[in-house]
Amino acid sequence: METIKAKAFTVEGIEALFGVKNFSISDVKWRLPDIFLEYPHYLENAIGFSICTKGYAVIKINFQEFFVSPNSIVTIFPNRIIEPIDISGDFTTESLYFTFDFVSDLPLVSNFSILDKIENTPCIDVPSSEASNILKYHSFIVEQYNRKDHPYRQEITKSLLFALITEIGALYLTSEQIKNANTHAEYLVKHFYRLLKNHHKEERRISFYADKLCLSPKYLTTILKKTTGKSVHEWINDAVIVSAKILLKTTAFTITEISDDLNFADASLFCRFFKQHTKMTPLQYRESGTKVREITE
């Protein structure tokens, strides 16, 4: 089977279908490619907002698991790893993507604590009335976005996006989920996730992460097991598998090159590790499922 390479998703790759630079939005004519719903991926240079309108999904964002259902808002920052775990057949979202360049000249809210809140809790559930309000914004943006001959199409899109970002920021600021996620244990877990994302390729030692958090390995293990239900080793192994899946599906690297990138002593050890955790060889995983089209530049 021929495998068609797909790079990391960039907003420029998606925007080419529509014509407003650094911005893309879903409507009835366009939905996310299947790879967004089937395989681990990340947005290389974009911020994404999605609101679920139907069905459900279990996804991991930077290895942390979230349940997405109607009225859930999900915010994705650049280079955050998204891993679909379970997606219902009727799962539907409305989404938009934009780069920092697109909003660089907008008077965005200067409350940087909002960014930290979103980083820690990217998925929140909002009341149906608030979800309806966000969807109205989305529909109006789609309507204006599709006025391709309007001389100020981009300016109108930016202004409406600014209003939507402000509304979503307010929802995160007042979210009870975020207010209630402030225990010391959860604080440590959030920082562990960040360390794991940045270092899992080269560091698989519990002591490394414990030292970075100024904890003993035993205490870190206890905190993670109690708070997340998974051990440190399980989290590290999961992170390595996700990175391996991304490399297998989104690059043309050989198995040996992927093994080297993930700091395995040799390719055979990597293959055994991958099969132990996925019940498939790396080559079988690469050739499985839907062929992926090239959607980036």
80 by Cβ neighbours in 10 Å (0-12 / 13-18 / 19+) ranks as middle
Q: Which two tokens stand for residue 195?
A: 């360390």
Backbone angles phi, psi at 96, to 5 degrees: -145, 155
Query: How many whole angstroms separate alpha carbon 3 and alpha carbon 254?
Result: 12
pTM equals: 0.66
Domains of the chain: 11-179 (2.60.120.10), 184-287 (1.10.10.60)
**Sequence-distant (≥ 6) Cβ neighbours of residue 76 within 8 angstroms:** 43, 47, 48, 49, 50, 61, 82, 122
Per-residue burial over 197-215, b if 16 or more Cβ lie within 10 Å, else e, is bebbeebbebeebbebbeb
Task: Give 4-45 pLDDT, tens digit per residue.
Answer: 333 344 444 444 444 455 677 776 544 555 556 677 777 777
Task: Give 235-268 pLDDT, tens digit per residue.
Answer: 999 889 988 988 898 788 999 999 999 999 999 9
Q: Which amino acid is residue 145, in one-letter code?
A: Y
